[in-house]
Structure 1
Amino acid sequence: MDQLNTALERYLPEKRLFLRSETSTRFVRLRPVAQGVILTGTVAYMSWSVVATSVLFFGLVGSNDLRVSAEREQSYFETRLNEIAAQRDRATEDAQAAHLRYSEAMDRVATMQGMVLEGEQRVAELEHGIDALQSSLRSVMDARDGAQARLAELEAADANAELIRTGQQLAEVEQTLDFLMAALGQTADERETLRALADNTARHADHLALEYRLIQDRNTRIFTQLEQAVETSIVPLSEMFRTVGLPPEQILQQVRAGYQTREASLTPISVSTSGTLDPQGDESRANSVLAALAEVDLYRIAAERTPFALPVNGGVRRTSGFGARRDPITGSRGRMHNGVDWAGPRGTAIHATAGGTVTHAGRQSGFGNLVIIQHDFGIETYYAHLHSINVREGQRVSRGDRIGGMGTTGRSTGVHLHYEIRVSGRPINPLTYIRAAQNVF
């Protein structure tokens, strides 16, 4: 010890601390070793204070960042769903309007086709009449030629009476010929008019067909974007449930069984038709998008009934995780911790992490003031050591409802919340659910 004092004398010279009273004066000798011990203890305490303060500060900042990120992701997801729903509504309206325009165009084409058929039939009748008139004309012309020949013979024979009769017959034949020629010209004009009408009808039908193809192309692009957007929304939701060990198909089946009502905007489009719908048609694709959006809606309902949310927001820090740990009271090792602990000020609001029914709201052995909520899919959540309870047994709560305030009742060493998730009675790490929803909400 003397050698150590001698070695430290150069850096920490011996000092005396005088203590004066009314009757006497005393002093305390501070050897170099004692000064070193005091200095080392002071530095160690200050270092520990700095480290502890940094840990608490970064824990608080991390918790706030996690909450802000979760709120931002949830806001983005809800905004995205609203945009998809708006696009879906616009596409449905466009598809219905296009189908109506197409039906009207087909009616007009059918009417024009009837007119074309009637015109063709009329043309055929006129051509048949022309042939008959031409035949009659040839017969009349032959009779005229014969009459002219007979007239020439009569003139040569100087048969005046026969000549007069033949002249009268010739006049009648010429009148008949003039009538036939006028009828033939009128028939030809009528045929040309019908041909022009048929050509105009054919061009109009081609224009309507082109317009319908353009509408189909636009609808195809719209439906492709909607299908991609819906697929982008469904995949992370399905993966979120699969991550926590809940089969998405089974979850959707259970939600669908207990959710009979359907929004009018998600009702499949019903089109009156004499045949089956084209699998690639607008109606079929619209119904496919509506079915996918209905599935997204079922996922939304299932997410609200599954404890993906945080039970506390802001101003808290996570102090203990799920798994084996040292008992905070007895100090024994290997004690299983079935939940996650967050510490914060007394009375900090505790919120339900999913919709469900309160099955316990009162004191229970080491949990102190305890609230238990029964959710769908065989899931329960425990909120222990509460300072106050704001719900009652049998009450139905929604995600985000306040159920109590943070406290230190029961087997506790400080103000905190002990939070558990149990599936079919078996404890599950709550952070599995919370982290699974971080990239979705």
Structure 2
Amino acid sequence: MRTRLIDSIDHAIERRLPEQRLFLKSDQGTRFIRLRPSTQAGILACASVVACWTFVVTAIFLMDTISAGNAREQAQRERNIYEARLNALSRERDHRAEEAAAAHERFYVALDQISEMQSALLASEDRRTELETGIEVIQTTLRRTMKERDSAREETEILTARLEGDTEGEAAIAKAKTVDGSVAFLTAALEETAAERDQIANDAQAAFDTAEELRFELKMNEERNNRIFQRLEEAVTVSLEPLDKMFRAAGMPTDSILREVRRGYSGQGGPLLPATMSTSGGGTITDGTSQRANRLLKELDRINLFRIAADKSPVAMPVKAAFRFTSPFGYRRDPKGAGRRMHAGVDFAGARGTPIYATADGVVTHAGWQSGYGKLVKIKHAFGIETRYAHNSTIRVKVGQRVSRGDRIGDMGATGRVTGTHLHYEVRLNGTPVNPMTYIKAGRDVF
């Protein structure tokens, strides 16, 4: 039955594939191999399958190669864009730092100017008070002298009238001589008093002119102080607003932060000295300028507290060498294929051994292995903040060690649950993970 089927197949395809014979010649003789039409059809079918399979595999390989090339080009373009963005951010940060330094320099110069102007203003006030007191004394003396002059004139007129009405002999003559002597004395006294009066009037006019000049100078000083205050207030606003915005963007209440910093930096003291009485009238000045200066000093103290708080917050970068930002904070597709999971930090990929630095002052609370994190360093900072540095190859700190911002705490590695060498960096506020880039970006906007 099988032979008939094969014969029928051979007979059907014999027209297209006639029977062939393959002769093999050797020293022993000549032999041949008979290739029936069905055999030739099988060989052709196998060759066709192999050719089709080769073609498909080659096409798939070429498409994968093209796709991989496009993916590499896309990755390279994204990397170039990312590096350009990083360079732009770095330049912007340097520019902001230069502007902040210039603003601080202008601020301190203006502060020195306002100190000098306040000293000059107080000296002008003292001088004006002294001149006004002198003018009042001169005016009092002048009024008293004028009264004495009027009294002397009245006495002279009375004595003259008595002299003219007296006609009795020698007694009258003696009395007249006495009156003449008195009149001469009074006349001399009046002339001297008139000269003193004129001198006092001239001194008073000079004092009035000096007082007017001092008032004009005081007005000019007040205008100059007002301009200085305006520049200082603008500088304070420019410096204070980004600091307040930085902490609010990081989710930290500024009022409680300032109270905590103030409690930590509120020391006072000194030896007890004997009580002394000041003769310079050292009362509290309550004019508008002093109130304005006091408000400015309070704002300066607020800026100083903010800067102390910023020094204690993780606003620096944990990696300073070249790196690639590979994973942001938030939900992501797990790199190990565990589905969509929360990522409580950010990942910085770099070369093995890349130095890792503390981002703020604090105390090391953990330095060792922890499941998933690999070799992990935890640092406790102020205001309930904790930072974590995971997957280290080497840990360079110990538990209980106090570190400062910029201290090297470890080297980048691939320990724990990872797909490659990188740093997993976390920031936790009162135990809750927050986005570390909020602090880093806020620090770049201010410093």
TM-score (norm 1): 0.79
Which secondary structure state, in structure 2, belongs to the residue aligned with residue 385 of structure 1?
A: strand
Please report how far the alpha carbon of residue 429 of structure 1 lies from its aligned counterpart in structure 2 after TM superposition. 1.6
Please report how far the alpha carbon of residue 229 of structure 1 lies from its aligned counterpart in structure 2 after TM superposition. 1.4
Please report how far the alpha carbon of residue 179 of structure 1 lies from its aligned counterpart in structure 2 after TM superposition. 4.6
Paired position in structure 2 for 1:289: 296
2:295 aligned partner, one-letter code: S
Does residue 436 of the first structure (1) align with residue 442 of the second (2)? Answer: yes
1:379 aligned partner, one-letter code: I
Paired position in structure 2 for 1:11: none
* Greater shift in the superposed pair: 32-41 or 125-134: 32-41
Paired position in structure 2 for 1:63: 86
Please report how far the alpha carbon of residue 420 of structure 1 lies from its aligned counterpart in structure 2 after TM superposition. 0.5
Please report how far the alpha carbon of residue 36 of structure 1 lies from its aligned counterpart in structure 2 after TM superposition. 4.5
Question: Can you list the C-alpha shifts for 1:83-138, whole angstroms capped at 9, x where unaligned?
Answer: 31231122123212321232133224323432332232223223222222232233
Does residue 93 of the first structure (1) align with residue 116 of the second (2)? Answer: yes
2:99 aligned partner, one-letter code: Y
Paired position in structure 1 for 2:151: 128
Please report how far the alpha carbon of residue 48 of structure 1 lies from its aligned counterpart in structure 2 after TM superposition. 2.0
Within-5 A mapping of 1:17-416: 36-143=59-166, 147=167, 177-261=183-267, 277-278=285-286, 280-281=288-289, 283-329=290-336, 331-416=337-422
* Greater shift in the superposed pair: 303-312 or 110-119: 110-119
* Greater shift in the superposed pair: 348-357 or 110-119: 110-119
Aligned equivalents of 2:279 and 2:251: distance in 1? 41
Residues 67, 314 of structure 1: 8 Å contact kept: no
Please report how far the alpha carbon of residue 302 of structure 1 lies from its aligned counterpart in structure 2 after TM superposition. 0.5
- Length, aligned pairs only: 389
1:88 aligned partner, one-letter code: L
Residues 339, 421 of structure 1: 8 Å contact kept: yes
Aligned equivalents of 2:436 and 2:203: distance in 1? 77
Which secondary structure state, in structure 2, belongs to the residue aligned with residue 92 of structure 1?
A: helix
Q: Which has the higher contact order (CA 8 A, sep 6+)?
A: 1
Please report how far the alpha carbon of residue 246 of structure 1 lies from its aligned counterpart in structure 2 after TM superposition. 1.0
Residues 365, 400 of structure 2: 8 Å contact kept: yes
Check 1:187–1:63 CA distance in 2 against 1; reply closer, same or farther (3 A cut).
Answer: closer
Check 1:367–1:130 CA distance in 2 against 1; reply closer, same or farther (3 A cut).
Answer: same
Which secondary structure state, in structure 1, belongs to the residue aligned with residue 383 of structure 2?
A: coil
Question: Can you list the C-alpha shifts for 1:177-220, whole angstroms capped at 9, x where unaligned?
Answer: 54544444333333322222222222222222222222122112
Check 1:165–1:254 CA distance in 2 against 1; reply closer, same or farther (3 A cut).
Answer: closer
% same residue: 38
Q: Which runs of no fewer than 5 residues in structure 1 stay unpaired?
A: 1-26, 151-161, 263-269
1:213 aligned partner, one-letter code: K
Check 1:165–1:57 CA distance in 2 against 1; reply closer, same or farther (3 A cut).
Answer: closer
Which secondary structure state, in structure 2, belongs to the residue aligned with residue 111 of structure 1?
A: helix
Residues 351, 402 of structure 1: 8 Å contact kept: yes
1:76 aligned partner, one-letter code: E
Which secondary structure state, in structure 2, belongs to the residue aligned with residue 408 of structure 1?
A: coil
Aligned equivalents of 2:254 and 2:171: distance in 1? 108
2:159 aligned partner, one-letter code: S
Q: Which runs of no fewer than 5 residues in structure 2 stay unpaired?
A: 1-46, 269-277
1:210 aligned partner, one-letter code: F
Check 1:188–1:400 CA distance in 2 against 1; reply closer, same or farther (3 A cut).
Answer: same
Residues 316, 440 of structure 2: 8 Å contact kept: yes
Please report how far the alpha carbon of residue 33 of structure 1 lies from its aligned counterpart in structure 2 after TM superposition. 6.0
Check 1:54–1:182 CA distance in 2 against 1; reply closer, same or farther (3 A cut).
Answer: closer
Please report how far the alpha carbon of residue 378 of structure 1 lies from its aligned counterpart in structure 2 after TM superposition. 0.6
Which secondary structure state, in structure 1, belongs to the residue aligned with residue 223 of structure 2?
A: helix
2:147 aligned partner, one-letter code: A
Please report how far the alpha carbon of residue 257 of structure 1 lies from its aligned counterpart in structure 2 after TM superposition. 0.5
1:204 aligned partner, one-letter code: T
Check 1:385–1:271 CA distance in 2 against 1; reply closer, same or farther (3 A cut).
Answer: farther
Please report how far the alpha carbon of residue 279 of structure 1 lies from its aligned counterpart in structure 2 after TM superposition. 5.0
TM-score (norm 2): 0.78
Check 1:75–1:372 CA distance in 2 against 1; reply closer, same or farther (3 A cut).
Answer: farther
Which secondary structure state, in structure 2, belongs to the residue aligned with residue 400 of structure 1?
A: coil
